[in-house]
A and B are shown apart, each in its own frame.
Chain A
Amino acid sequence: MSDSGLRCSRCDSVIAGDDLRCPICHLPTPPTRAADLPETAVEILRCSGCGAAMTYDVAKRAAACAFCGSVLEIERPTDPVEEARLLAPFTVDRDRARDAFRTWLGSLGWFRPGDLRSEATLETIQPLHWVAWIFDARAEVSWAADTDHGARRADWAPHAGEAELDYDDVVVPATRGLSGDEVAHLLPSYDLESIGRRPDRGVDAILESFDLPRSAARARLVEAVERLARQRLTERHLPGTRFRNLSTATVLRGLDARRAAFPAWVLAYRYRKKLYRAVLSGQDASCLVGDAPLSALRIAAVIGAAAVVIAGLLVFGLVL
């Protein structure tokens, strides 16, 4: 979330320098004001312009001077739209990306048009750094659910349990440019060890922004962590094979989220007047995901052949 190095004294999550409260457990952060006064002090808030006394003004939501109208703003926590601080470098250059694209077109299988590889024209090839959070956290999750394990007369039996889940370098996509499927396909191709602070990016890639103020970004991240926790619970902790009514309560500790950007080549190609899109990992030339046209003729041929075979079998059966 921030590289301020500050951590909450209760839940050990990383907090930003100007946070009033921990975003995870809501513990107030220690005041920056000086320590206790030795004796009682009485002060009058003075206008720095005219020296008159200032009072809190509801309309201005700040202390204002009734004489000269100057306003003393009240310090408020900032909520900036943040950028990625860590970058994974490109290891696949533009030429290799082009080659990889051609190879991919030829490897799509029989149901694609036969001239796809020769007729498709690459319109644009754009390097992109798409953004995600990489987080570490520990989650103490309590859960309750009905599962089919131990069921008697009813189909369901109630169960409850607690699990400690550890997350280490888990990537939560924050990109808007790439779809969920594209990200899921690309993610395994990246080497998390290669991520560094401000590396020489080598190519002039577009760096996606997080598009969300910090508070909203944190809310989305916490939501994602809780979703992952539910997923892990259902995969490893719930007894039985089916479940319903899963409730969870999470105590999240030590949440440290770094904002990172991953390299990708976004390709747009045209085949018979229609545009298609493909995305290639910037670190693995064999990892490409995208749309491609299907050959209606070939599909019709297969269906026709199948129909002929089935009809033949039926006739054969009737004759026998």
Chain B
Amino acid sequence: MAVASLEVSCAACGARLIIATTRRTARCPYCDSPSVVDRPATEDRPDPIFAIGFAVDRDQARSALRAYLQHRRWAPGALRRATADKVEGVYLPSYLYSAVASSGFTAQIGENYTELQFDPKRKRMRRVTKTELRSLRGGHRCYVADRFVTASQGVANSELEAVEPFDPGDLRRYGPALVSGWVSEEPSLGREACLELARAEARDGVRVRLVGFMPGDSHHSLQCTTDLTDEALDLVLLPVWVCSVRWRHDRPPVRLLVNGQTGAVGGEIPVSWAKIAAAVGAGLALAGLGALIGVLLGWFG
């Protein structure tokens, strides 16, 4: 997508306002009026059909973040005590995917049975459980729904997954009232790429369902192929607090997300190698001490 911007006059004060093509919203630098942009839909930039409004405010997001950082035992101490420099509420573009999944599967199903066997040590019969393996082939059809995948280059899908789930019960029909005054991004990932991402997530989800679907006492070698038909991919704006935490001047800030609907926090946190080394050292020292005591007891015992 070409990076260009849109130049308009502010509808409130008439000042020239530059809105990046990656944004749906802007604030006039002179009069602070919040504008909402509505562009003609394209293949890779469809109109959002739904949005989930923020339910967690900035203070709640900050305290959720503080609590999250304090509980990271293996993070560097400075990071655990750090507070976020910047906490920005963003309506993240994401695609909501649903489809009909038809799968074929094969698996080896273990059926347990018991048998009487002679135990030569105890010189008596005992009951042992054995497993009979039977192959099973079959089909599985289900709806796949409520799969969200990122449509933003700025937030990886794994980052979004870290703060999921979003409750689709709070979806509202998109309108400017939901995003006015907030940063709202336009999709920056192509629709096709997002569709592939969603299909991969859907197939993973079907596989998890199939594991629960298998009969028997155990199973292994589950193989499945899943066809996805009747697919729907719709643009949805999700509320996310993007937080940046600077904890050392010589390190890049850590970026964490807070789910703007539920307050769940997610993101990658660096670990403190010093803490891990100290823990390993302490473990080794304890083991050494134990061995030493053992040897001494052996001598004097």
Could you give, for residues 122-145 of chain B, a 1 whenever the CB lies within 8 Å of some chain A CB and a 0 otherwise? 000000001010101111111101
* A179, B145: Cα distance in complex, Å: 35
| A156 adjacent to B111 (CB under 8 Å) | yes
Chain B proximity of A314: nearest CB distance (Å)? 41
Min CB distance, A54 to chain B, in Å?
Answer: 6
**B180 & A42 in contact (Cβ 8 Å cutoff):** no
Please name the 7 residue pairs, one residue from A and one from B, whose CB atoms are nearest each other, closest first: A55-B181, A160-B138, A26-B145, A154-B111, A63-B177, A154-B113, A158-B109
Distance in angstroms between the alpha carbons of A33 and B47 in the assembled complex: 11
Answer whether residue A274 sits at the interface, using C-beta atoms and an 8 A cutoff.
no
Q: How far is the CA of A250 from the CA of B140 in the complex (A)?
A: 9
- For B267, what are the chain A residues with a Cβ–Cβ distance below 8 Å? none
Q: Are A245's CB and B172's CB within 8 A?
A: no
Alpha-carbon gap, A261 to B281, bound state (A): 74
Are B100 and A10 in contact (CB-based, < 8 A)? Answer: yes
State in angstroms the CA–CA spacing of A53 and B25 once bound together: 13
A27 interfacial by beta-carbon distance below 8 Å:
yes
Question: What is the interface size of chain B, counting residues whose CB is below 8 A from a CB of the partner?
Answer: 64
In the complex, given contacts A26-B98, A251-B141, what are 18 additional A-B residue pairs having Cβ atoms less than 8 angstroms apart?
A25-B98, A25-B100, A28-B232, A31-B47, A31-B173, A37-B39, A38-B40, A44-B180, A53-B34, A56-B178, A56-B179, A63-B176, A74-B53, A152-B134, A158-B136, A159-B136, A160-B215, A249-B140
Contact B136 A37 (CB under 8 A): no
Main secondary structure of the interface of B (DSSP, over half): strand
User: B33 contacts the other chain (Cβ, under 8 Å)?
Assistant: yes
Contact A142:B215 (CB < 8 A) given known A36-B47, A41-B37, A45-B180: no
Interface, chain B (partner A; CB < 8 A): 6, 8, 11-12, 17, 19, 33-41, 47, 49-50, 53-57, 96, 98, 100, 109, 111-113, 130, 132, 134, 136-143, 145-146, 168, 171-173, 175-182, 209, 212-216, 230, 232, 234
Q: Closest A-chain residue to B21, C-beta based? A: A40
B12 / chain A contacts, CB cutoff of 8 Å: 44, 53
Q: Looking across the interface, which residue of chain A has its beta carbon closest to that of B145? A: A26
Q: Which of these, B33, B173, B209, contacts A249 with CB under 8 Å? A: B209
Q: Determine whether the beta carbon of B138 is less than 8 Å from that of A161.
A: yes
A49 CB to closest chain B CB, in angstroms? 15
Q: Which residues of B contact A59 (CB under 8 A)?
A: 57
- Identify the closest chain B residue to A73 (Cβ): B177
Query: A53 — which chain B residues lie within 8 A by C-beta?
Result: 12, 33-34, 180-181
Q: A55-B182, A159-B215 are in contact. Are A249 and B142 (CB under 8 A)?
A: yes
- Contact size range, A: 35 or more
Q: Please measure, in the bound complex, the distance between the C-alpha atom of A167 and the C-alpha atom of B50, giving whole angstroms.
A: 34
Residue among B55, B138, B171, B234 with the most chain A CB within 10 A? B138
Tell me the residues in window 88-133 of chain A with beta carbons closer than 8 Å to chain B beta carbons.
none
Query: Which residues of A, 143-189, contact B by the 8 Å Cβ criterion?
Result: 144-146, 151-162
Shortest distance between the CB of A252 and any CB in chain B (Å): 8
> Which residues of chain B come closer than 8 Å to A144, judged between CB atoms?
136, 138, 213-215
CB-CB under 8 A from B37, the residues of chain A are 40-42
Among B34, B96, B141, B216, contact of A55 (Cβ-Cβ < 8 Å): B34
Q: Are A157 and B111 in contact (CB under 8 A)?
A: yes
* B-facing residues in A25-82 (Cβ within 8 Å): 25-28, 31-33, 36-45, 53-56, 58-59, 61-63, 72, 74-76
Q: A231 at interface (Cβ–Cβ under 8 A)?
A: no
Q: Tell whether A157 pairs with B134 under 8 Å between CB atoms, given A10-B232, A25-B98, A26-B146.
A: yes
On chain A, the residues within 8 Å of B35 by CB distance are 42-44
Evaluate contact between B41 and A58: CB separation under 8 angstroms: no
C-alpha spacing A228/B134, complex, angstroms: 29
| Contacting residues, chain B, for A44 (C-beta < 8 A) | 11-12, 33-36, 180
Cβ-defined contact, A251 with B180, below 8 A = no
Q: Which residues on the B side are within 8 Å of A43 (C-beta)?
A: 11, 35-36, 38, 176
A-B contact pairs, 17 of them (CB 8 A): A20-B172, A21-B168, A28-B232, A31-B49, A33-B173, A36-B40, A37-B39, A38-B40, A41-B37, A43-B35, A44-B35, A45-B180, A56-B53, A58-B56, A162-B139, A247-B215, A251-B142
Instruction: Tell whether, in the assembled complex, residue A156 and residue B36 are in contact, meaning their CB atoms are under 8 Å apart.
Output: no
Q: Which of B36, B47, B55 contacts A45 (CB 8 A)?
A: B36
CB-CB under 8 A for A251 and B179, given A144-B136, A154-B113, A158-B136: no
Contact B39 A40 (CB under 8 A): yes
Interfacial chain A residues near B6, Cβ < 8 Å: 40, 42
CB-based contact A58/B111 at 8 Å: no
Q: Given A58-B55, A153-B132, A158-B134 in contact, is the A26-B179 Cβ separation under 8 Å? A: no
Docked Cα-Cα span, A144 to B142, in Å, equals 14
| A140 on interface, CB distance cutoff 8 Å | yes
CB-nearest residue of chain A to B17: A42
Give Cα A140 to B100, complex, Å.
Answer: 11
Q: Which residue of B lies closest to A253 (CB)?
A: B100
CA distance A7 to B198 in the complex (A): 26
Q: Which residues of B contact A39 (CB under 8 A)?
A: 40
Closest to A27 in B: B232
Chain A residue, CB-CB nearest to B176 = A45
- From the candidates A31, A42, A62, A155, name the one contacting B177 in the complex (CB within 8 A): A62
Known contacts A44-B12, A53-B12, A158-B109; is-contact A140 B49 (Cβ 8 Å): no
- Residues on B with beta carbons closer than 8 Å to the beta carbon of A247: 212-215
**Interface contact B171-A72, CB-CB below 8 Å:** no
Q: How far is the CA of A273 from the CA of B49 in the complex (A)?
A: 65
| A162 proximity list for chain B (CB < 8 A) | 138-139, 141
B34 proximity list for chain A (CB < 8 A)? 44-45, 53, 55
In the bound complex, CA of A202 to CA of B33 (Å): 63
Instruction: Tell me which residues across on chain B come within 8 A of A55, comparing CB atoms.
Output: 34, 180-182
